[in-house]
Amino acid sequence: MELALKTSQQQLERQRLVVANVGRRVDELNVRAPVAGVVGTLAVADRAVVPANTALMTLVDLSRLEVELEVPETYADEIGLGMTAEVSIGNERASGKVSALSPEVVNHQVLARVRFEGSQPNGLRQNQRVSARVLIDERPDVLMVARGPFVEQQGGRFAYVMDGDTAVRRPIVLGATSVSAVEIRDGLGVGDRVVIAGSDAFEDAARVRINE
């Protein structure tokens, strides 16, 4: 009787191990993602039999999105890692840092990646088109005017300043320039009215009368 009881106990323990193994295999059928995200694309059809280690889907982690910028190669040498960038998403703006810069030039463009500082904007989607600008140089408390034809004329050494109804040609010294504005280091003062349009038709005259 003792031998029969011991045999039955061993059979019971073996069945418990079999049940535990089957439960483990059933639990392995559940697909668990390493991160929380949204399913982007499915690589297999529903209820299809797939071999082991086959890719099933693409998971998008929306909490760690980065912005990819196409920078003209003429500005690529001026951009460095860690520079501040401003990303515009609709009416919302967010700040970030340049985290990567491609060493390859494709179609006269260099790819740069911007990583958001702090929390990223709400509602951001993968492959969404946004606009951004990189702060290459920051110069506070400088005299700045809107960019005009005088920047390209004679190397930007002269500008026309209004004196009443007369535009007077005055020598200037330019500093940093951007697409929309230029820094004036010498030759102008606060409050001067500068001709920023149409001065290319003055033919380098010393004084031009302006009729409004």
Each residue's pLDDT tens digit, 71-83: 888 877 778 888 8
Query: Has residue 28 been placed in a domain?
Result: no
- Contact between residue 199 and residue 150 where contact means Cβ atoms under 8 Å apart: yes
Q: What range defines the domain where residue 149 resides? A: 144-209
**Mean pLDDT over the full length of the chain:** 84
Decide if pLDDT at 212 tops 70. Answer: no
How far is the C-alpha of 212 from the C-alpha of 195, rounded, in Å? 13
Number of domains in the chain: 2
The answer to the question of residue 13 being in a domain is no
pTM beyond 0.85, yes or no: no
Instruction: Say whether pLDDT at 191 is over 80.
Output: yes
Q: Minimal CA–CA distance to 70: which of 117, 30, 104?
A: 104
Tell me whether residue 177 is in a domain. yes
pLDDT of 64 over the 80 cut: no
